[in-house]
A = this chain, B = another copy of it.
């Protein structure tokens, strides 16, 4: 079969022939029609995971045909019995097993779910990992509710955009930050109530003036900006953390946390229950993932380059013939 293969560290993937995956016990083959990129794929290209061995087919997200049915793949497996956290054996498709940037992928039967009927294959492929992460942090962890004020930082990324979409459909009042004014305008066009550029001075004061304060804040960055989030959180607020691209927080105040009775809630990926709930929510509200761009699988190297530049708004999708 054809696949995008990472053959060595720090090199773009090559479109090449790859052996079709073997089916072990309880596995099924999904003939892929579309896949989508995550930052995880870039980090795999850069060799940033322990135990990583090339060549490897990256890709966690995919949609296609399995045993005659249109399906979307839950990228995680082995979450385990406790909804609160993933078990030690938890794995995400694309490392160490070959992933979805190929004509076919082998997954556990339990990872295959019906594709939401209102979505194209490209749209469905955009959904799994980012949608799952967004759903878990926003609803399973932060219990975001109708009428609450939500701030989503770093909008433009996949998880952040799904948080915005899900929250708007759940009836929250949504505000965002971004380093790109054009992205803020796009999110406002989707229905978000306001946003500020985090490169501007006193962005947190501007947000505070705009919204009053936030009941829920979803952040994937951490770093120095995080302390400002504590300041604009309402008493009793929940702050969901799903990433830390900005690094450690240099000056984290316990006082703000205890005095305002804040809850800081970490989340990554999600359980099978989270995934099923997320699909139900997407089906119920007919949510359509935002697709930034679609590349042919053969042109996958260009998709990786676009992802690395960080210019995308929504998900970058690969079409698989």
Contact = CB atoms under 8 A, between A and B. Distances in A.
A248 B253 contact: yes
Contacts of A255: 244
Given A235-B86, A248-B251, A243 B258 contact: yes
Given A235-B85, A235-B86, A259 B254 contact: no
Given A85-B260, A266-B260, A268-B259, A250 B253 contact: no
Given A85-B235, A86-B235, A257 B264 contact: yes
B254 A248 contact: yes
Contacts of A253: 222, 244, 248-249
Contacts of A241: 254, 257-258
Identical subunits present: 2
Contacts of A226: 252, 254
- Chain A: interface residue count, which band? 35 or more
A265 interface: yes
Interface in A249-286: 249-268
A53 interface: no
A226 B259 CA distance: 17
A24 interface: no
Interface of A: 82, 84-86, 141, 219, 221-222, 226, 235-236, 241-244, 246, 248-268
